């Protein structure tokens, strides 16, 4: 029995089928067919290997790019946090300074008002009135000094010395000379006024 060449055909791929069912292929054909089926398509393997390598490279590149993007995002967030902290710290410092100046003004203004009033009395030659007015200085100073001291900083020793001189000069029953009284008053008015203009 024979097969038509237009049916199953004589050759499928590199394998040649017998044209008759009872026909046995020759040894040369068997060797050729065996070699055909045993050969691996080297070019196809190479293409597969290159494709796998390319995909691996893309995956590594993509991972590296993702890590770099994450690092950059982290750096940006960190810098933003630092900027926000610096801004907050500066705002807090400004607020504290403003609050301190307001408290200083409230503490110092009554003291300065009394000192200037007494200075006017001294300049007018009314020492007794000046001494009487300065009788309220101790209470005002006790209230003001705790506020003045931390703000005055290195100026505090000078201010404290001037305040003690005023207290001793205008102590109850004292009759200071006009020059002494005036010097004591101006010695404290000056540094206290300077604090308010900082």
Q: How many domains in the chain?
A: 1
Predicted confidence at residue 51, as pLDDT, reads 57
Predicted confidence at residue 178, as pLDDT, reads 96
Q: How confident is the model at residue 79 (pLDDT cuts 50, 70, 90)?
A: confident
Higher pLDDT, 53 or 119: 119
Predicted confidence at residue 115, as pLDDT, reads 97
- Which contiguous run of DSSP H or E holds residue 12? strand 11-12
Q: Is 31 inside a domain boundary?
A: no
Structure token digits, residue 190: 């000056």
Among 11-20, 126-135, 180-189, the least confident range: 11-20
Q: Is 36 inside a domain boundary?
A: no
Q: Is 10 inside a domain boundary?
A: no
The whole model's pTM is what?
0.52
Q: Is 87 inside a domain boundary?
A: yes
Check: CB of residue 163 under 8 Å from CB of residue 192. no
Whether residue 132 has pLDDT greater than 80: yes
Longest Cα separation, the chain = 154
Predicted confidence at residue 26, as pLDDT, reads 56
- Which contiguous run of DSSP H or E holds residue 97? helix 42-123
Predicted confidence at residue 82, as pLDDT, reads 59
Percent of the chain having pLDDT more than 70? Answer: 53
What lies within 8 Å, CB to CB, of 10 at 6+ separation is 3, 16, 17, 19
Q: Is 162 inside a domain boundary?
A: yes
| Helices 156-169 and 137-152: angle between axes, nearest 10 degrees | 170
Q: Is 116 inside a domain boundary?
A: yes
Question: pLDDT of 26-60, one tens digit each?
Answer: 555 555 544 444 444 445 555 655 655 556 555 55
How much is the average pLDDT of 181-192? 97
b (16+ CB within 10 A) / e for 179-194: eebbebbebbbebbee
Question: What does each C-alpha distance from 142 to 36, 109, 139, 163 come to in angstroms?
Answer: 113, 14, 5, 11
Q: How confident is the model at residue 195 (pLDDT cuts 50, 70, 90)?
A: very high
**191: which DSSP letter?**
H
Q: Give the C-alpha separation, 115 to 129, whole Å.
A: 12
Q: How confident is the model at residue 159 (pLDDT cuts 50, 70, 90)?
A: very high
Among 13-22, 106-115, 168-177, the least confident range: 13-22
Q: Is 13 inside a domain boundary?
A: no
Q: Is 27 inside a domain boundary?
A: no
Count of residues for the chain?
198
Whether residue 9 has pLDDT greater than 60: no
Task: Give the residue numbers spanning the domain of 94.
Answer: 45-196
CA angle, 22 then 30 then 25, to 5°:
20
């Amino acid at each position: 029995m024979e097969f038509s060449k237009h049916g199953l055909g004589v050759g499928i791929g590199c394998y040649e089928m017998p044209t008759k069912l009872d026909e046995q292929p020759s040894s040369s054909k068997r060797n050729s067919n065996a070699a055909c089926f045993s050969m691996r398509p080297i070019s196809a393997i190479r293409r597969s290997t290159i494709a796998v390598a390319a995909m691996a490279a893309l995956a590594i590149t993509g991972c590296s790019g993702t890590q770099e993007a994450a690092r950059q995002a982290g750096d940006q967030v960190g810098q933003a946090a630092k900027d926000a902290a610096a801004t907050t710290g500066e705002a807090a410092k400004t607020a504290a300074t403003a609050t301190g100046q307001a408290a200083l003004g409230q503490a110092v203004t009554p003291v300065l008002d009394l000192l200037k009033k007494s200075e006017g009395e001294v300049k007018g030659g009314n020492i007794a009135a000046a001494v009487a007015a300065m009788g309220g200085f101790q209470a005002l100073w006790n209230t003001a000094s705790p506020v003045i001291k931390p703000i005055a900083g290195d100026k505090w020793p000078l201010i404290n010395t001037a305040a003690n001189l005023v207290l001793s000069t205008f102590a109850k029953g004292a009759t200071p000379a006009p020059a002494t009284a005036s010097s004591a008053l101006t010695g404290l008015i000056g540094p206290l006024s300077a604090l308010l203009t900082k």
